[in-house]
Amino acid sequence: MRYITIALSKGRLAELSIDLLEGAGLDCSELRSDSRKLIFSDDKNKVRFFLVKPADVPVYVEYGAADIGIVGKDTLLEEGRDLYEVLNLGFAKCKMCVAGPKELEGCMDTVQISRVATKYPEIARMYFRRKRKESVEIIKLSGSVELAPLVGLADVIVDLVETGRTLKENGLVVLDHIADISARMVVNRVSMKMENERITALIRAIREQLK
């Protein structure tokens, strides 16, 4: 039997993913141990795991270097990879939003927005092109995006909003809702065919726990 390879996103998603995989009967003890290894395995079930940066998970899965991946919908939207998105795992929930100063509230359609700061340039570009039919200048930042409208770098931001506290404390409000985000399980298109039985069984076992 071949090994099935699962790519997990480093960070808080990994913890929750491991719980689910263990619940599905996989042995993740190696993953839980504090090891410097890059690849962990469950030799009994012939499954391997590795942890990579979230943005890299869809890449590994698209190329077939991993058969299965667990990653946030935000990353999937941003990366736009050609994958099967088979399960909404429901955790790590938040919303992808357009946010900006209070003055813009309710008048997004009348005001000309020219600059948008974001960590998600593709999502921002798609949103403004498809939904608002506008060509805007996208400014890519790596963090603390909320700062941009405050210091005049951008008119609005596109970012993940969980509780809305950071926005509120900085005098920003949600102007539009782009997408619901949560963790997803993705599968390589070829793996889904070639290892159909085992992958379907794993999907079923994980879906059972989500009920």
The reply on whether position 173 binds another protein by CB under 8 A is no
**Cβ neighbours of 24 (radius 10 Å):** 19
| Structure tokens given for 8 | 């997990």
Instruction: Mark the segment that binds another protein (CB under 8 A) among 21-29, 41-49, 155-163, 188-196.
Output: 188-196
Q: Is 191 in the site for another protein (CB under 8 A)?
A: yes
At residue 158's C-alpha, the angle toward residues 153 and 160, to 5°, is 130
Q: Report 79-98 residues binding another protein (CB under 8 A).
A: 82-88
Q: Nearer Cβ to another protein, position 67 or 159?
A: 67
188 binds another protein (CB under 8 A): yes
Nearer to another protein, 118 or 191 (CB): 191
Nearer to another protein, 6 or 154 (CB): 6
DSSP category for residue 181 = E
Quick one: tokens of 88? 């909404």
Pairwise CA distance, residues 156 & 149, whole Å: 6
Candidates 11, 64, 106, 171; binder of another protein (CB under 8 A) is 64
Task: Kindly indicate which of the ranges 6-14, 49-57, 103-111, 183-191 contains the residues binding another protein, using the contact rule CB under 8 A.
Answer: 183-191
Taking CB under 8 A as the criterion, the residue among 19, 63, 105, 210 binding another protein is 63
Q: Residue 42, interface with another protein (CB under 8 A)?
A: no
Query: For residue 28, which amino acid is it?
Result: C
Q: Where are the beta strands (DSSP E) in the chain?
A: 4-9, 39-42, 47-52, 68-72, 84-88, 94-101, 115-118, 137-140, 156-161, 172-181, 183-187
Interface residue with another protein, options 14, 16, 55, 65 (CB under 8 A): 65
Q: How far apart are CA 102 and CA 172, in angstroms?
A: 6
Number of residues located near another protein, criterion CB under 8 A = 22
| 33 contacts: CB under 8 Å, gap ≥ 6 | none
Kindly state whether residue 131 participates in binding another protein, applying the rule CB under 8 A: no
Residue bearing tokens 């879906």:
207
Distance of CA 21 to the CA centre of its chain: 18
194 is a site residue for another protein (CB under 8 A) = yes
Site residues (vs another protein, CB under 8 A) = 2, 61-65, 82-88, 187-194, 196
